[in-house]
Structure 1
Amino acid sequence: MSGLEEAERVELTVAAVAPGGHCVARVDGQVVFVRHALPGERVVAEVTEVHRGFVRADAVTVLEAAPDRVAPPCPYARPGRCGGCDLQHVAPDAQLRWKTAVVREQLTRLGGLEEAECDALDVQVEALPGGLLGWRSRVRYAVDAAGRAGLLKHRSHEVVPVDRCLIAHPAIQDLPVLTPTGARWPDADAVETVASTAGDVAVTALAPGRTRVVSGPGRVRERAVGREWSLPTSSFWQVHPAAADTLVGAVLELTGPRPGETAWDLYGGAGLFAAALADRVGAAGRVTLVEAAGDGVTAARENLRDLPRVEVVAARVETALARRRITGPVDVVVLDPPRSGAGARVVRDVVAAGPRAVAYVACDPAAFARDLRVFTGLGWRLAALRGYDLFPMTQHVELVGLLLPG
């Protein structure tokens, strides 16, 4: 067959959801990943990318709409415009079902679970308080050649100037950063904005080798797990205001740390999980946090200095394990790796340390599923799984899995 070509338009029927905010369709046997569509819809799709074995496309005209289709609240959430929100055309409850379906598909296809095992785990993605708009407390705007701040097109470096980002925190929406305010950023590549849970609002301009605080503090305060945290605006922190306490609550409930136990917080960042673990294991216990990023290490040491039973190790997790910078035995491990996952080497070393429980906090279902297959190959099992919609209107989903030996 000749196959589809870039910019070609084709009428097709959309099938199941797929990772990445797409749905799957087929044209003469060719796989098409379609954005801005819903399962069951008949659409006209425009091909945006051609790859060996599949193509990508945008649904530009909806011929037969699915019942779960809604009008996107943002005028930029459309084909060829901002790529930040994948699911604004999907009804709220259907967004949760969409993400649940993606998680189940990744667990079975990549993680090796059976459908019956997913049923037994009762895999569901839960909404967080606060609604679908106005939740994002950290937004990085890209800057185009004309000095205008905006957001990027999907899978592109092209900047789309916008007058407002509706998922941004209201305090960020009110900032004079975007084009309608007359703002221009001729010397910046990006503009970072923060609205913290403690009420701090900051704007930072970024350029190669240079960071300039434009307004607000250079450090912001966050409140979580009964503590106040002080962080540079560039430090990682969960972008949904309810995320930190939600994830910590799930980790503690699933693993049940006990007084006197030893715990590891791997990829620990500023120490959110380490602080909660330290509170549970008490003065007779011990917590070791491992983090590679310099700003994360500094933030952890500063914010946890009142917890002498917490040790902060500045190293890559795989290096700390392989070189025995940290060694077992250990009782509880929290794994919170980057989007790429922990990887087989780290999983094997964690299992070798002999913990009674591992809480795996994952921001990518595919990476989690790949690592799960390594755990199960070593005789471990997924005993519980929680899913949280920390990123409404987008295809992203956060998971907390409990892994147990045997």
Structure 2
Amino acid sequence: MTGRRITVDVGAVAHGGHCVARAEGRVIFVRHALPGERVVVEITEDRHAAFCRGDAVEILDASPDRVVPPCPVAVPGGCGGCDWQHATAKAQRALKAAVVAEQLRRLAGLEWTVEVEELAGGLLDWRTRVRMTADGKGRLGFRAHRSHRVVPVDGCPIAAPGTVDAVVGDTWAPGAELEIAVDATAHTHVTEIRGRRRRTARGGDTVVERAARRDWRIAADGFWQVHPDAADLLAEVVSDWSGLGQGECGWDLYGGVGLFAAVLAEQVGPLGTVVAVESSPSAVADAERELADLPQVLVRQGRVERVMEEDLPAPKTVVLDPPRKGAGKAVVDAIAARAPERVVYVACDPAALGRDVAIFAGRGYRLENLRAFDTFPMTHHVECVALLTHPTR
């Protein structure tokens, strides 16, 4: 069926940057479409009996939310990085809100009204960290959707100045991958990756970021939020919802370089304790150095589920920011066994959030509050912060 074209009516948005259509008794996950449209779909992948994937290659009846994508390669067969360039900003946030609500309903059994909040700066020029790949001719570009094929580009409208524009004019070794970051001081840093080898190609291996009223000097190829306002905003929500006071204890799981640990440390003061847990040795090294002025922070390196088996002080509040797959049953069970009053869950994947909220519910925790943020405009990604509380604690 791959390559075949079918006319379909597009239904609801689904998690992953596409909408659902149906034809001949099968589901089609359609990219480059919007709910309510009638489109011609070209099937791009057909590997499952129940569903296939396709691109909307012709719009017969357009949604009023449709716009012309600002990027020439944000089209069928083009770059796979953006999912919603063909939708207005308001429509993008509504689509993401619908996905978060649907995942909570389907996976956690919760009916929750979701609003995805807009960040300052709009849809363009926001992404401060970018990964690019050189094609067979050494031209830099991005991968096509669900493919290793490199789509060469001359620029990227969502990338912040000092990232893509700083490297696309150069020729690189075929197959090389670059991690490009522009930091809070407007300096560009380029790390070149060839197989398992990494080298600093430009700008030094340490970036300077600013968030939570602190300067952070961290590895250029380490993790940091890609939207310039995201780190501060998430830290603010964690601060608002932690419920911690002087002398109390909080945990920061999957703590990275210690952003949330710094926030919690300020709340508990010198007589309190914050346990920060992170598996990456380089992130732990950054955290130990950057939080050296906060002796109440205990940084532990290792897998979260294993470190929690140690004799750690009991937390009043646990903050966790797991990877895209979520925390999972073992981690949730270990947190619940320590009986914190509050859990502040920072989630970059709505499905993982829904699964973990359901596990927490089975341990007596209820979802008390949730905020969602459009920290990745033009893409299907959305950042959520959930507050879970236990009614008996």
**TM-score normalized by the length of structure 1:** 0.94
CA distance in 2, matches of 1:70, 1:329: 52
Return the letter of the residue paired with 1:201: T
Are 1:75 and 2:72 counterparts? yes
Matches within 5 A, 1:323-402: 324-402=309-387
Q: State which of 98, 102, 106 in structure 2 corresponds to 1:101.
A: 98
Superposed displacement of residue 48, structure 1: 0.9
Partners of 1:231 and 1:299 within 8 A in 2: yes
Matches within 5 A, 1:123-134: 123-134=114-125
Residue by residue over 1:134-174, the C-alpha shift from the partner in whole angstroms, topping out at 9 and shown as x without a partner, is: 00000010122222211000011110000001111012243
Superposed displacement of residue 257, structure 1: 1.8
Aligned equivalent of 1:87: 84
Matches within 5 A, 1:215-226: 215-226=202-213
Partners of 2:130 and 2:164 within 8 A in 1: no
Residue by residue over 1:349-403, the C-alpha shift from the partner in whole angstroms, topping out at 9 and shown as x without a partner, is: 1011011110000000000000010011111100000000000000000000000
Aligned equivalent of 2:27: 31
CA distance in 1, matches of 2:339, 2:255: 20
Are 1:211 and 2:206 counterparts? no
- Paired residues, what number? 390
Return the letter of the residue paired with 2:206: R
| SS at structure 1 position matched to 2:117 | strand
Aligned equivalent of 1:43: 39
Deviating more after overlay: 248-257 vs 38-47: 248-257
| SS at structure 1 position matched to 2:299 | strand
CA distance in 2, matches of 1:142, 1:188: 6
Aligned equivalent of 1:199: 186
Return the letter of the residue paired with 1:374: I
Aligned equivalent of 1:267: 254
| SS at structure 2 position matched to 1:154 | coil
Are 1:242 and 2:226 counterparts? no
Are 1:10 and 2:6 counterparts? yes
Partners of 1:198 and 1:223 within 8 A in 2: no
Aligned equivalent of 2:16: 20
Are 1:170 and 2:167 counterparts? no
Aligned equivalent of 1:308: 295
Partners of 1:188 and 1:206 within 8 A in 2: no
Q: CA RMSD in A?
A: 1.1
Q: How high is the sequence identity, in percent, across the aligned residues?
A: 52
Matches within 5 A, 1:294-305: 294-305=281-292
| SS at structure 2 position matched to 1:140 | strand
Aligned equivalent of 2:150: 159
CA distance in 1, matches of 2:79, 2:214: 36
Return the letter of the residue paired with 1:355: P
CA distance in 2, matches of 1:208, 1:49: 28
| SS at structure 2 position matched to 1:110 | helix
Residue by residue over 1:319-363, the C-alpha shift from the partner in whole angstroms, topping out at 9 and shown as x without a partner, is: 112xx2253521111010000000011101101101111000000
Partners of 2:134 and 2:174 within 8 A in 1: no
CA distance in 2, matches of 1:325, 1:137: 37
Q: State which of 135, 145, 151 in structure 1 corresponds to 2:126.
A: 135
**TM-score normalized by the length of structure 2:** 0.97
Aligned equivalent of 1:281: 268
| Large movers: runs of 4+ above 4 Å | none
CA distance in 1, matches of 2:155, 2:33: 24
Superposed displacement of residue 29, structure 1: 1.9
For structure 2, list consecutive stretches of 5 or more residues without a partner in the other structure.
none
| SS at structure 2 position matched to 1:77 | coil
Partners of 2:137 and 2:174 within 8 A in 1: no
Partners of 1:43 and 1:62 within 8 A in 2: yes
Partners of 2:136 and 2:175 within 8 A in 1: no
Partners of 1:187 and 1:207 within 8 A in 2: no
CA distance in 2, matches of 1:279, 1:241: 23
CA distance in 2, matches of 1:342, 1:208: 29
Residue by residue over 1:288-330, the C-alpha shift from the partner in whole angstroms, topping out at 9 and shown as x without a partner, is: 1000011111111111111111011001001112xx2253521
